[in-house]
Amino acid sequence: MNPVALAFAAFVTAAIGTLGGLGGAILLVPLLVLSGMEAKYAAPLGLVSVAAGSLAAAPHQLTARVVNQRLGVATEIAASSAALIGALVSGLIGQSVLAVLLGVVALVAAFAGARRKGVRNLPDSSLSVDDVGETPGTLAGVYPLGDGFVPYRANRLPLGLLGMGMAGLISGLSGVGGGWVKTPTASEVMHVPVKVAAATSTFTVGVTAAVGLLVYESQGRIVISDAALVAAAGLIGGTVGVRLQHVLPPPLVRRGLSAILAVIGVLLIVRR
Amino acid sequence: MSFRALSRVLQVALILTFACALGGAFIPGVVGRVSGTACIVLLIAAPVVRVGWLVVDWTRERDTRFALLGSALLLVLATSGAIALVR
């Protein structure tokens, strides 16, 4: 892929990945492989895109207080531990089986997001801007939505941790990052508002990507000039994506996310 | 407020990483390679620093449960990094 096309692909996938909390790798890696790049060089560029999108989004999401870092840290332990196990056993599972598994998970997540109507968590008129943020010692918080303030609490933690563990396992096995499983898990299983789920996933995929990049760097699989180009474009794309995330209404974000996941699921199953 | 300070730190990291990325992408030779490598190092370090910052913050707030969870996550990250380097 020529440098201009690579930069454009990294920009678009980082913007979409940050907007939906997917991480850009699930979009960028298949694109690079389709363009003829070897998967072993495409995967590190995917993680560079994820890490760049995560870093670009962080200052804005922290200031807007829409990310729940306690939820992110609590669930990332399961995801990172499973990612490590997945990376260690990745050679034991066939790529074809893995592709079908990824495709089915993506389609289920797409269906779960698309079938729900309206907004689950409604604004509470007794809350003010001073209440926005995380509630210390809990997995609850308040986030701003339009002119109102919406309280939420993460439910079904054991099931959520199982989902996050699966996201980590898939990430470790495939090298495509797990944000596209983490966001639907937080939103549809744990009942966290989709904007908070997406912002929290954007934080945690950066953590997972850091570990992956360390592995790839030690294996000499990162082409520095390409990685730097992807990082620059990914930082711009991530900045655009997080601003769109703040402006767009939650049902639109959720439906868009479902549509993207459905396309990814079909592509993964058809192209195995 | 601590989240504002963390936001500023990450904003500085973002600008530095972007500058290094541009250098790595467009400057030829050793300087470009060093700049690109610095960009990757910053991308790896930023989330780890963020988790470390949160652990300190939660410890100060006496939110012991989440401070311990954050420490456990740092331990998992350190273990992952060590295993990756050894293999």
Q: Which residues of chain B make contact with A136, given a CB cutoff of 8 A?
A: 58, 61, 63, 66
For residues A58-80, one letter each, b for 16 or more C-beta atoms within 10 angstroms of the residue's C-beta and e for the rest, the string is: bbbbbebbbbbbbbbbbbbbbbb
Cα separation of A149 and A131, whole Å? 8
Question: What is the per-residue pLDDT across A104-130, written as a single tens digit (0 to 9) for each?
Answer: 877 877 776 676 655 677 888 888 888
Return the SS3 of A147.
coil
Question: What is the per-residue pLDDT across B40-84, written as a single tens digit (0 to 9) for each?
Answer: 999 999 999 999 999 999 999 999 999 999 999 999 889 878 877
Contact A74, B65 (CB under 8 A): no
ipTM: 0.93
Flag whether residue A96 sits within 8 Å of chain B, measured between CB atoms.
no
- CB interface of A with B, residues 211-250, below 8 Å: 211, 213-215, 217-218, 222, 224-225, 227-229, 231-232, 235
**Chain-chain contact of B39 with A231 (C-beta, under 8 angstroms):** yes
**Mean pLDDT confidence for A237-254:** 80
**Mean pLDDT confidence for A12-41:** 79
pLDDT band for position B19 (cuts 50, 70, 90): very high
Between A31 and B48, the more confident residue is B48
Flag whether residue B61 sits within 8 Å of chain A, measured between CB atoms.
yes
**Closest-CA residue of chain A to B18:** A232
**Closest-CA residue of chain A to B11:** A59
**Chain-chain contact of B40 with A213 (C-beta, under 8 angstroms):** yes
pTM of the prediction?
A: 0.87
Alpha carbons within 13 angstroms on the beta-carbon side of residue A35 total 15
Cα separation of B84 and B47, whole Å? 18
Contact B45, A48 (CB under 8 A): no
pLDDT band for position A88 (cuts 50, 70, 90): confident
pLDDT band for position A250 (cuts 50, 70, 90): low
Cα separation of A87 and A171, whole Å? 8
Give the percent of chain A with pLDDT over 70: 93
- Extents of the domains making up chain B: 3-86
Whole-number Cα distances in Å, A30 to A15, A194, A264, B19: 16, 25, 9, 28
Cα separation of A109 and A86, whole Å? 21
Give the percent of chain A with pLDDT over 90: 30
The predicted structure's pLDDT at residue A27: 77
**Chain-chain contact of B44 with A69 (C-beta, under 8 angstroms):** no
Q: Min CA distance, A106 vs chain B (Å)?
A: 26
The predicted structure's pLDDT at residue A248: 79
Handedness of CA A240, A3, A212, A25 (dihedral sign): positive
The predicted structure's pLDDT at residue A120: 72
**In terms of Cα–Cα distance, which of A231, A185, A179, A225 is closest to A202?**
A179
**Chain-chain contact of B47 with A51 (C-beta, under 8 angstroms):** yes
Starting at the edge strand that comes first in sequence, how are the strands of the sheet with A133-134 ordered? A133-134, A140-145, A148-153
Cα separation of B74 and A207, whole Å? 10
Strand A140-145 relative to strand A148-153, pairing: antiparallel
The predicted structure's pLDDT at residue A101: 74
Nearest Cβ partner for A232 among B7, B18, B85: B18
